[in-house]
Amino acid sequence: MDWLHAFQPYLERLTATPSAFAWKVLAPPVLYGLHGWIATRMAVAALFHPYETWYWPGTRIAMPLTPGIFPKRKNKLAESVAGTVTDTLLTPIDISQRVETLVTEENLILAADAVIDSILREFRETSKLHRLASEISELSPAVLQHLVDSSIEGLEKGRDRNVQTIVEKIFDHMILPMRISLEQATEISSRIMEAFITPEKVRSHLITLLSPQNINALDESIQAHAGGPYKLLARIISVKRVCYEWRNFMEKEPEESTRVIGDLIKRFGIRDQMAIQIANFDLRSMPLQNIARLKANVVSFVENFLLHNRDSIMEAVKVGEGAAMSTVRSAIIRFNPESIPDKWLERAKKSVSKFAYSYLQRELRVLLGNLIPKLGMKHLIADKIERFTSEQMETLVKRICAKELVALEYFGGAIGVLLGFVQILINAIAP
């Protein structure tokens, strides 16, 4: 065959002696493979070494390829990696989506449980408790002012129903079931008697009530609606004449009539009867419609009072700053975490978690949108990478891709071996 004849002279020279055969066949692949492996290994080493700049002896002229590629380009590498991470791998949208997956009711319940338990543990340490009481008491006036002012402002704009909710709860749980003791009722009736039902005021009101028009109306009503015997008795007694005589008596004899009225008030026991009625009164016995109307009136009264007395209320809040601070401090110091019922504590944790969940559902994207740029993730990552020493960077890269670097060196050697065989082929074709 023609190609065998082409290789015939080369084969004859190779087989002239065994040493010549070994040299001609094995030398190129071995030398080329060793050259490829050493060159690749030097290239890999040049990525990291040397760590510092080398200078020609006796000069300040830097030697080529010193320091290594990574140490020399560490700043640009840091910026490039940070930009790649923040622009493609860890974008604000990715962070927001990841955070949103973590904001669940179960996770927030766990967080609220941990936070509240941690706070309660702090209350058990006296020194921390006193320090906490001082700090919170100093904040209490500002918090109170902000709470009152924001509540009134919300009422003015018609967007805040917290006041209505609070007043309704107070009405349902405190005012509606409230009962007055007989002693308190007696005190209230005494004050009413002193202010409104004095003998002099009763005499004055009776004179006004027994006007000629009212007396005539009373007589006409008796004649129209009273039964036969009572109508006859009213005629015999002459109700109109009695009323006129009583009115003339009160007008002409004010002192004597006042004494008579006062004596009648005592004899009738009006104060005691009023006290009994007050003590027996129960709001819950009223019709539901009346209770609802009363509640609405109380809410309306409180809201109108807050709206029309805003300046006075804020001034009163400022005046009471000292008392508020003292009250808050005293309440915190006396607080005992062990006294909290477990059911109440669990309910509080759930309420806190539900509030946090509803708030974050509305505001999480806005909060993250404002927070992520302020974190400066790109600058942070770049700064971290720049702080790596050359040794740390080499260790990091080799730990991540040590096998790949070794395989790269072997691959360089394999390419050299392949080129050695190519060289043998070329020598065979063109000796």
Written as one string, the DSSP assignment of 350-393 is HHHHHHHHHHHHHHHHHHHHHHHHHHTHHHHHHHHHHHS-HHHH
Distance CA 385, CA 356 (A): 36
Is 58 a member of any domain? no
Judgement on whether residues 376 and 406 belong to the same structural domain of the protein: no
Q: Indicate the residue type of 408.
A: L
Taking residues 224-231, report their average pLDDT.
73
Is 63 a member of any domain? no
Q: 302 CB contacts (<8 Å, ≥6 apart)? A: 163, 167
For 128-139, the pLDDT digits (tens) are 667 767 777 777
Is 145 a member of any domain? no
Judgement on whether residues 177 and 304 belong to the same structural domain of the protein: yes
Judgement on whether residues 105 and 212 belong to the same structural domain of the protein: no
pLDDT confidence tier of residue 3, bands split at 50, 70 and 90: very low
User: How far are the Cα atoms of 2, 192, 193, 198, 253 from residue 259, in angstroms, in the given order?
Assistant: 158, 19, 15, 11, 10
Is 328 a member of any domain? no
Helix (H, G, I), strand (E, B), or coil: what is residue 193?
A: helix
User: How far are the Cα atoms of 43, 79, 403, 413 from residue 398, in angstroms, in the given order?
Assistant: 14, 21, 8, 20
- Bridge partners of 55? 62
Judgement on whether residues 267 and 347 belong to the same structural domain of the protein: no
- How confident is the model at residue 2, as a pLDDT? 44
Q: Indicate the residue type of 96.
A: S
Is 158 a member of any domain? no
Is 116 a member of any domain? yes
Q: Residue 11 pLDDT more than 70?
A: no
- For the chain, the C-alpha Rg in angstroms (whole number) is 50
The boundaries of the domain holding residue 353 are 68-123+340-384
User: What mean pLDDT value characterizes the chain?
Assistant: 77
For 398-418, the pLDDT digits (tens) are 776 777 777 777 777 788 778
Judgement on whether residues 202 and 296 belong to the same structural domain of the protein: yes
Taking residues 320-348, report their average pLDDT.
74
Distance CA 257, CA 207 (A): 11
Is 408 a member of any domain? yes
DSSP code for 61: P
Q: Indicate the residue type of 147.
A: L
Q: Indicate the residue type of 18.
A: P
Q: Indicate the residue type of 323.
A: A
Please, are residues 183 and 278 in contact by the beta-carbon 8 Å criterion? no
Judgement on whether residues 35 and 119 belong to the same structural domain of the protein: no
Q: Residue 384 pLDDT more than 80?
A: no
Q: Residue 195 pLDDT more than 80?
A: yes
- How confident is the model at residue 164, as a pLDDT? 83
- Top pLDDT among 92 and 355 is at 355
- Most confident listed range (155-169, 211-225, 254-268): 254-268
Is 35 a member of any domain? yes
Distance CA 25, CA 13 (A): 11
Q: Residue 261 pLDDT more than 80?
A: yes
Please, are residues 164 and 303 in contact by the beta-carbon 8 Å criterion? yes
Judgement on whether residues 109 and 202 belong to the same structural domain of the protein: no
- Bridge partners of 229? none
Distance CA 359, CA 373 (A): 21
For 362-379, the pLDDT digits (tens) are 777 777 767 766 767 777
Degrees, nearest 5: CA angle 86-88-91: 50
Answer left, alpha or beta for residue 58, where phi above 0 means left and psi between -120 and 50 means alpha.
Answer: left
Judgement on whether residues 78 and 206 belong to the same structural domain of the protein: no
Judgement on whether residues 375 and 417 belong to the same structural domain of the protein: no
Q: How many helices (H) and strands (E) does the chain have?
A: 21, 0
Judgement on whether residues 281 and 361 belong to the same structural domain of the protein: no
Distance CA 126, CA 366 (A): 40
Judgement on whether residues 246 and 261 belong to the same structural domain of the protein: yes
Distance CA 318, CA 125 (A): 32
- How confident is the model at residue 336, as a pLDDT? 67
Judgement on whether residues 210 and 350 belong to the same structural domain of the protein: no
Q: Which two tokens stand for residue 165?
A: 């909710």
Q: Residue 7 pLDDT more than 50?
A: no
Structural domains in the chain (count): 3
